[in-house]
Amino acid sequence: MVSVTWGIALALCTQLVSAGDPLATVSWRTGNDKVDTIVDALTAEEKVSLVHGTVDSDGNQQQAGYSVPITSQGIPAIRLADGEAGINIVQNTTGSPTQLNVAATWSLNAAYQHGVITGKEAKLLNMVVALSPRVNILRDPVEGNFWQSYSEDPYLNARLGIQGVKGLQDQGSMANAKQIGPSSTGASSGDTNSVVDLQTLQELYWVAPGTLLQEGNAATLMCSYAQINGIPACQYEPLFNTVRDDYNSSAIVMSDWGATHSTAESLIAGMDLEMPTGSYYDALYDYIYVSQNLSESYLNRAVGHILAKYDEFGLLGTTTEGSSPLPPDVVVDHAT
């Protein structure tokens, strides 16, 4: 049912997916009057700046990602840090067990407490998004990121991952269900093509991240480096249709770092946030406002998803300035 090829797509096996009309007007109103008013008030440049990451000018923590503030509209800076084994920044955070260690306990409580520690320290350090839990199916023991996920079983990944999400978000931090793809080989160049039918994707590879969205209400979701039937995951429309329609999720969908491979196609498909920079999405200004070959409503939809989630977590109207590393003797009240 599944085969993986390197460097070349199997054209004869490629599932054709039609792209949406770039000039169509899509529905983007969020139902949140505050958010919709902000979207209407943003300039074109401000909207584009919100849908991709950039370099943190106050990057003393060297975290994974950063999104600029727009202070005139009460939108804070957003910092994102890896979190599969504790918050991964420069120094002075708790080195938690890996998710692989957590899975070996078969303990839902251990998974929850792992999330609590990560979420609590993310909050203390003004890391708005902790990029965890990872719920990929482990298939290759020599894969470099093997330790970051829980197990080879999608059901176990889902049950433990829900607890990780709840532990994190109970502290007021945003969790990140990652990566939806499939993504089980660790390849990061985008040259892995997984030839998989939609039923297999939905019943096997998307079970864990989908459950984290449906039952755990994960705030964000990451699309993977892999191609799906010859199409990069971050512009694969059936994936986004499943997330929005079948899972009924309002999560911010972001790319893995460098996993974006297009501008209009990715935005039309439904990817909200390009990370870590705007290699593709920075061009949206020209696509929409100069060449006028892409409807602004697609951009409004992405910005609306992002700001609605910010509002849900109480971020609008606040500041999230970069903090200094925790002193080594800080007491965070972690369970032992």
Residues with a catalytic annotation lie at 256
Sign of the alpha-carbon torsion through 261, 174, 242, 29:
negative
DSSP at 92: -
**H or E stretch at 202:** none
The CA angle 119-121-122, to the nearest 5 degrees, is 60
User: What pairs with residue 66 in β-bridges?
Assistant: 79
Strand order in the sheet with 192-195: 3-6, 192-195, 227-228, 231-232
- What are the structure tokens assigned to 279, written together? 């290699």
274-to-1, 19, 50, 228 alpha-carbon distances in Å: 31, 19, 9, 18
Residues 121, 332: contact at Cβ < 8 Å?
yes
Residues 6 or more apart whose Cβ sits within 8 Å of residue 279: 258, 260
φ, ψ (nearest 5 deg) of residue 158: -65, -45
- Number of other residues whose CB lies within 10 A of the CB of residue 201: 23
Residues 6 or more apart whose Cβ sits within 8 Å of residue 247: 210, 213, 214
Instruction: Give me Rg for the CA atoms of the chain.
Output: 19
